[in-house]
Amino acid sequence: MSSSDTKIITVIGSGLIGRSWAMVFASGGYSVKIYDNQPGQSTKAIVEIKKQLQELEDAQMLRGEATALQQVALISSYDDLSQALEGAFFVQECVFEQLEVKQSIFQDIERLVGKDVILSSSTSCLVPSNVFSKVQNRSRCLVSHPVNPPYYVKLVELVPHPETAPAVMDTTHTLMTKVGQAPVRLRKEIDGFALNRVQAAIIAESWRLVQDGIISVKDIDLVMSEGLGMRYAFIGPMETMHLNAPEGLEDYMKRYGPGIQRVLTSFGPVPDFCGEGSKGIINASKTTKRAVKSN
Ligand SMILES: NC(=O)c1ccc[n+]([C@@H]2O[C@H](COP(=O)([O-])OP(=O)(O)OC[C@H]3O[C@@H](n4cnc5c(N)ncnc54)[C@H](O)[C@@H]3O)[C@@H](O)[C@H]2O)c1
Ligand SMILES: *[C@@H]1O[C@H](CO)[C@@H](O)[C@H](O)[C@H]1NC(C)=O
Ligand SMILES: *[C@@H]1O[C@H](CO)[C@@H](O)[C@H](O)[C@H]1NC(C)=O
């Protein structure tokens, strides 16, 4: 592709996620325009991206066909929103996780782009019907929820607004696949989307088991890292069950369904994560854990 027909994606917000999306899109050969409302911030982001891409190249972990320098050359920075949006067919928003900030930036973006431009949000926790409530044409809007950091973790949850056009879901799915991500579609919006709902279930039961004195903080982590996690790193729960009984999933449920149901009915209420009841767990985790930051 010559530079004149390279398709343009605009990334709004140049923090952790914005920078990572820019790297992902550039690795797929797209021209990426980064905008941040903090003057100079998006220029700084490119300096950081360049450093990261060169380190990845040195470690032979660079994604895409082009060299680090060729990929950096695809990325440009803007302090002006309308310039940043010019020519883009797809907009990936990565601003603060605050509803009003997202609603207002999408209102501004909609005024500045053509009617076929897709508006996509990186939000972790806000549902599309809230994020896009101030956009006129919601059929072009969706959430593309990445997992941090999207350069290394490929899952992207595509979550539609009730009015999102199927073609917009399809185009985004194709785009994400093309740049090497692993998109999944939710058919409807739901609080927590899919990944965070499954994660919440695991967190809740792990917390209860520790809080109820059944197991230590260190050992519940081993249950995952040396047990369940080994499996789920490669195949999902449905396929695991299917492979775990001679006749597949139906057979699995005949054998193990009643046991799973019995265990599920013994799950307690939503645990106390912040009050008195949490102190022991937090104390114990301080002494056994390295500091980790994830979302
Ligand atoms: N960090 C994660 O683990 C993670 C994972 C998945 C999704 N997300 C989501 O991605 C989004 C961005 O998260 P992050 O961790 O990169 O945040 P961040 O704080 O690192 O970056 C946010 C950036 O947006 C800029 N910004 C704020 N308001 C703006 C506006 N009105 N216009 C333009 N730029 C603006 C800020 O200057 C900053 O550079 C959030 O919605 C978050 O929930 C984060
Ligand atoms: C709304 O967005 C869709 C999807 O991008 C587009 O096809 C349609 O023309 C838009 N409608 C209006 C009135 O702008
Ligand atoms: C916190 O941990 C320390 C060291 O393991 C222990 O001595 C102390 O009793 C704990 N405090 C609480 C409130 O659990």
What CATH number should be reported for the domain holding residue 204? 1.10.1040.10
Region label for 64, one of left (φ > 0), alpha (ψ between -120 and 50) or beta (otherwise): left
State the CATH number of the domain containing residue 18: 3.40.50.720
As to burial, measured by CB atoms within 10 angstroms (0-12 exposed, 13-18 middle, 19+ buried), residue 295 is exposed
Give the CA dihedral 79, 82, 87, 88, nearest 10 degrees: 70
Same domain, 38 and 153: yes
Final residue belonging to a domain, choices 165, 185, 205? 185
Report d(CA 103, CA 7) in Å as an integer: 26
Same domain, 67 and 132: yes
Q: Tokens representing 63?
A: 């994604």
Tell me the backbone φ, ψ of residue 256, rounded to 5 degrees.
-110, -10
Q: Does the residue 237 lie in any domain?
A: yes
Same domain, 99 and 151: yes
Query: Tokens 């060169």 label which residue?
Result: 54
Instruction: Name the residue of 136, 138, 140, 172 whose CB sits within 8 Å of the most ligand 2 atoms, as the mutation to test its pocket.
Output: 140
Q: Does the residue 199 lie in any domain?
A: yes
Instruction: Name the residue of 83, 124, 156, 196 whose CB sits within 8 Å of the most ligand 1 atoms, as the mutation to test its pocket.
Output: 124
Same domain, 36 and 146: yes
Same domain, 20 and 111: yes
Measured from the CB, is residue 168 less than 6 Å from ligand 2? yes
Rounded distance from Cα 281 to ligand 3 centre (Å)? 9
Measured from the CB, is residue 116 less than 6 Å from ligand 2? yes
Same domain, 112 and 243: no
Final residue belonging to a domain, choices 185, 219, 242? 185
Query: Tokens 């082009």 label which residue?
Result: 66
Measured from the CB, is residue 225 less than 6 Å from ligand 3? no
Report d(CA 248, CA 229) in Å as an integer: 21
Same domain, 170 and 216: no
Same domain, 61 and 108: yes
Same domain, 202 and 148: no
**Cα angle vertex 245, ends 242, 249, to 5°?**
35
Q: Does the residue 2 lie in any domain?
A: no
pLDDT (tens, 9 = 90+) of the chain, 295 residues, equals 444 567 999 999 999 999 999 999 999 999 999 999 999 999 999 999 999 999 999 999 999 999 999 999 999 999 999 999 999 999 999 999 999 999 999 999 999 999 999 999 999 999 999 999 999 999 999 999 999 999 999 999 999 999 999 999 999 999 999 999 999 999 999 999 999 999 999 999 999 999 999 999 999 999 999 999 999 999 999 999 999 999 999 999 999 999 999 999 999 899 989 988 888 888 888 876 555 554 4
Indicate the number of domains in the chain. 2
Measured from the CB, is residue 19 less than 6 Å from ligand 2? no
Report d(CA 289, CA 222) in Å as an integer: 12
Same domain, 89 and 61: yes
Contact 210, 217 (CB under 8 A): yes
- How many alpha carbons lie under 13 Å from residue 160 in its C-beta half-sphere? 19
Contact 137, 121 (CB under 8 A): no
Same domain, 61 and 124: yes
Q: Tokens representing 248?
A: 């597949």
Same domain, 16 and 156: yes
Q: Domain span at residue 266?
A: 195-294
Q: Which ligand is nearest to the CA of 122?
A: 1
